[in-house]
Amino acid sequence: MTLDPRSPRTPSSPDNAGPHPWRRFVALGDSFTEGIGDPLPDGGHRGWADRVAEVLASQVDDFAYANLAVRGRLIGQIVAEQIEPAMALKPDLVTFSAGGNDVIRPGTDPDAVARQFEDAVVRLRRDDATVVVFTGIDTEFTPVFRGIRGKVAIYNENIRAIADANDCVVADQWALKSVQDMRFFDDDRLHYNTLGHHEVARMVLRALNVPNDLQPMQPEAVTATTWRAAREKDLVWARSYLMPWVLRRLRHQSSGDHVHAKRPEPLPVITLAPGPDAAGSRGRHA
């Protein structure tokens, strides 16, 4: 097993010359961490965190994994609902991704989001667990979110400063150029698809300096389309995803209403799908 040489370790990456040191992994966050966009045959969701857990569990004995993430959660909700339950599980590895749903909303302040984020990180580091935090993706490639690129960049600089001050590992989505391609995203144009989650899992394992056998995946080739066909596809997307999102905002509703954490207790990990391109992947190995 080898590390991918194309992506450098972050300065705070653990030095794992031998087997990695973690035995209890807890993932916190929203739909990104829940795994939305990476479906399983049973109707559940896999996602990058499950994929990371599978690799970690395959390398050591007595490994357990919990995932408290719930789709649609804002950072205040994540802090209120997930931090203390996570601490009660006594993890030695925590992934914390929060604030993305806040940043994409009009009128929100990335500095205010960062203050909540830092308070949470300080609490998560209280028992010396390794904490992994995430920067937001560079949105330049997507017309839907290109307008908030500067806002995401401010949020990212805050995240990096918080990580440096609290000795966290940074999983840098902004630098993950391979996923800056709509073929790595689900039909809603917001969540990663199977290929995207797979690439994020590889990035997280690199940040943790964990050798693994996950191979890069490439999306299918782009097929030519007419301007009219592209606009029709945009209209379908707007009706199917954009308008429901706007209506939920107006009604103060969330996609995560009445949804519970998919894995609230640390449990042993089995392979949740037969391979990295399972569960409906539309790509191929590089």
pLDDT tens-place string over residues 48-76? 999 999 999 999 999 999 999 999 999 99
Better-predicted residue by pLDDT, 122 or 187 = 122
Report the predicted TM-score, pTM, of the whole model to 2 decimal places.
0.83
- Rounded (10°) CA dihedral 235, 228, 191, 101: -50
Short-list 95, 51, 38, CA closest to 212? 51
Going along the chain from its start, the domains and CATH numbers come out as: 24-220+262-278 (3.40.50.1110)
What is the reported pLDDT for 20? 94
What is the reported pLDDT for 90? 97
Residue 73 CA to residue 30 CA, distance in Å, equals 5
Short-list 118, 154, 156, CA closest to 137? 156
Stretch 111-123: mean pLDDT: 97
CA distances from residue 126 to 11, 71, 90, 135, 166 in whole angstroms, order as listed: 21, 26, 11, 22, 10
Residue 196 CA to residue 202 CA, distance in Å, equals 10
Q: In a 3-state reduction of DSSP, which class is residue 158? A: helix
Q: In a 3-state reduction of DSSP, which class is residue 170? A: strand
Q: In a 3-state reduction of DSSP, which class is residue 194? A: helix
Strands 263-267 and 64-67: antiparallel
Share of the chain above pLDDT 70, in %: 77
Print burial letters for 110-126: b (CB count within 10 Å at least 16), e (below 16): beebbebbbebbeebbe
Mean pLDDT of the chain: 85
Residue 208 CA to residue 240 CA, distance in Å, equals 38
Stretch 71-86: mean pLDDT: 96
Q: Which pLDDT tens digit goes with each residue over 257-279?
A: 567 899 999 999 976 444 444 43
